[in-house]
Every structure is written in structure tokens, then in C-alpha cells.
Chains A and B, each alone.
Chain A
Amino acid sequence: AAGVIQSPRHLIKEKRETATLKCYPIPRHDTVYWYQQGPGQDPQFLISFYEKMQSDKGSIPDRFSAQQFSDYHSELNMSSLELGDSALYFCASSLLFSDNEVTQYFGPGTRLLVL
């Protein structure tokens, strides 16, 4: 079965640079979530989208922005990167108004290292 695809899998950036992370949800899934997992930490919710509209917002810095496109893929844009942004970034997808709507399927993550 198709899973959530994230790219790139690894990314190295310098401080103050920008980064774009991409997420391709499971086919037919309409909801995308972004989470940030620091070293040894639990995943923290950043932001979510349903049908291309922002549906919820968590602890996402103002330097970050995200959107969901017409094909349901999502991109997380990160600017003015700081050392503390180094983390594993997960995307998850789900299908709203289904029997399984609360089930979020996670991608493999993008490991971002800011030097």
C-alpha cells in the first residue's frame, strides 16, 4: 500500500538559510499534519491542513509557513533557520469523515540539520 512520502529525507543548511520540506499524503487523503521531533523528544504538532485550508495551528514559529496544494501535497517553508530548528520533521495524513478519520499515517520524516 502507498504510504506518506517526504522529501528530502536529509537536509543540511546553514544558519539564516531557508529550507522547503515536501510531503505527499497517501492517495485520497485530504488532511495533512506537520510535526517536529527534537532529539530525544516527542513529536510536537506544528500545523495542519484540510482541503487546502489551514485547519489547526500549533507551536509553529512565525519564520515557518506551510500550505497544501490542489493535489493535496504540502510544503513546509522554513526561513532564517536557527540551530534549534535541527530536528526530524514528520508529515502525517488522514482522510476526514471516514471511519478511520482519527488515524494519522506518518511519513519517514525529513532530518534537518542546521549548522
Chain B
Amino acid sequence: QKEVEQDPGPLSVPEGAIVSLNCTYSNSAFQYFMWYRQYSRKGPELLMYTYSSGNKEDGRFTAQVDKSSKYISLFIRDSQPSDSATYLCAMSGMGAQKLVFGQGTRLTINP
């Protein structure tokens, strides 16, 4: 079983919809929780990261972490066609450590 599980999708929604992306994990040592966006044939681009449990908001994006349930979410409000990409959750322990990624969810926002 993978340490980080993410529904690979694909997920297709109309423009303007609220998108919810989720990951579950099994390693209690994870302390940092990231969301990366990856366009086709490009490197992952960091969207947000959260330390421990809680919420973090940045514009149209909100990240939530529930360590008690080992569950993290990314919400995208007012989704745009330019948000179409693969979204990868990633996690690490304390300090600068390797990232453990989920499978990535391929998201398409239809105009």
C-alpha cells in the first residue's frame, strides 16, 4: 500500500465550479503537506503548503489538513480553464526531507 493515496481521476468540471481534491496518508511522521500543480511535460509547481493541521487560504485556493483523520484537501473556487492540470499532493517529515507524492489527479475545467 502506498504511503500517500490520491484519486487519479480524471476529474472534469465546468468553469466556475468548486473543485475538491483529496489525499489520504498512512505515515504519522508527516508534518508538512503540499499541493503541487503540474502541466503536461513540465515540472511540478508549488501551490501551497501547510504545516500540521489546519486551513490555509491563498486567493481561490484553500488547503485543509486533518491529521487526526490523515486526510488533506485542496479546494479551488471559481475554477478557470487555466486551472486544468494534474494536481499532486506531497508530504514530508520535519525539516528538509524528501517529498512523498500522491498519484496526482488530472483536472480539466471546461469553458
Contact = CB atoms under 8 A, between A and B. Distances in A.
A106 B44 CA distance: 6
A46 to B, nearest CB: 9
A6 B44 CA distance: 14
Interface residues of A, number: 28
B75 to A, nearest CB: 21
A58 B98 contact: yes
Interface in A72-98: 88, 90, 92, 94, 96
A89 to B, nearest CB: 10
Contacts of B34: 102
Interface stretch (B12-20, B59-67, B99-107): B99-107
Contacts, number: 58
A102 B101 contact: no
A101 B6 CA distance: 25
Interface residues of B, number: 23
Contacts of A108: 42-43
Contact of A101 (B41, B96, B100, B103): B96
B1 interface: no
A42 B88 contact: yes
Interface string B43-77: 11110010000000000000000000000000000
Interface of B: 6, 32, 34, 36, 41-46, 49, 88, 92, 95-104
10 contacts: A33-B98, A43-B44, A43-B88, A45-B99, A50-B96, A56-B98, A58-B98, A90-B43, A102-B96, A104-B46
